[in-house]
Amino acid sequence: MIRSVRRYARIYGRLVAASVRSQWQYRASFALYSASQLVATLAEFGAIWALFARFGSLPGWRLPEVAVLYGISNVAFALAEAGARGFDVFPGMVRTGDFDRLLLRPLPTAFQLAAHEVQIMRVGRLVQGSAILAWGCMGLGIEWDATRVSLVGLCVVGGACIFAGLFVLQATLAFWTIESLEVVNIVTYGGNQMAQYPLTIYRPWFRLFFTVAVPLAAINTVPMAALLSRPELSGLPAPLTWLAPCVGGPFLAACLLVWKLGERRYASTGS
Partner 1 sequence: MRPYLAVLRTRCRLLLQYRAAAAAGLATQVAWGFLRLMILEAFYRAGGPAPMTLSQVSAYVWLGQAFLAMFPWNVDADVRDQVRTGSVAYELARPIDLYSLWFARALAMRTAPTLLRSVPLLTAALLLFGMPGPASAASLMWFAASMLLALLLACALTVILTASALWTISGDGASRLLAAVALSLSGNIAPLALLPDWLGRAVVLLPFSGIVDLPFRLYSGNIPPENAWLVLLHQSLWTVALVALGRGMVNRGMRRLTVMGG
- Give the residues lining the site for partner 1 (CB under 8 A): 26, 28-33, 35-37, 39-40, 43-44, 46-47, 50-51, 53-59, 181-183, 185-186, 190, 193-194, 197, 201-203, 206
d(CA 219, CA 9): 27
Q: Residues with Cβ < 8 Å from 89, sequence gap 6 or more?
A: 116, 117
Long-range interactions of 220-224: CB distance < 8 A, separation 24+:
220/69, 220/72, 220/73, 220/195, 223/151, 223/154, 223/155, 224/65, 224/68, 224/69, 224/198
Nearer to partner 1, 8 or 52 (CB): 52
Query: To the nearest whole angstrom, how small is the minimum distance from the Cβ of residue 173 to partner 1?
Result: 12
Nearer to partner 1, 29 or 147 (CB): 29
Dihedral in degrees, nearest 10, Cα atoms 163, 165, 170, 175: 160
DSSP per residue, 205-258: HHHHIIIIIS-GGGGTHHHHHHHTT-GGGT-S-HHHHHHGGGGHHHHHHHHHHH
Query: To the nearest whole angstrom, how small is the minimum distance from the Cβ of residue 270 to partner 1?
Result: 22
Among residues 246, 32, 46, which one has the least CA distance to residue 132? 46
Nearer to partner 1, 48 or 93 (CB): 48
Query: To the nearest whole angstrom, how small is the minimum distance from the Cβ of residue 27 to partner 1?
Result: 10
Query: To the nearest whole angstrom, how small is the minimum distance from the Cβ of residue 31 to partner 1?
Result: 7
Query: To the nearest whole angstrom, how small is the minimum distance from the Cβ of residue 204 to partner 1?
Result: 11
d(CA 208, CA 213): 8
Nearer to partner 1, 2 or 53 (CB): 53
Nearer to partner 1, 5 or 183 (CB): 183
What are the Cα distances from residue 77, in Å, to 98, 101, 171, 180, 254? 27, 29, 16, 19, 19
Nearer to partner 1, 147 or 193 (CB): 193
In sequence order, the β-bridge partners of residue 61 are 58
Query: To the nearest whole angstrom, how small is the minimum distance from the Cβ of residue 3 to partner 1?
Result: 41
Q: Is the dihedral of CA 210, 216, 222, 227 positive or negative?
A: negative
Nearer to partner 1, 150 or 193 (CB): 193
Query: To the nearest whole angstrom, how small is the minimum distance from the Cβ of residue 12 to partner 1?
Result: 26
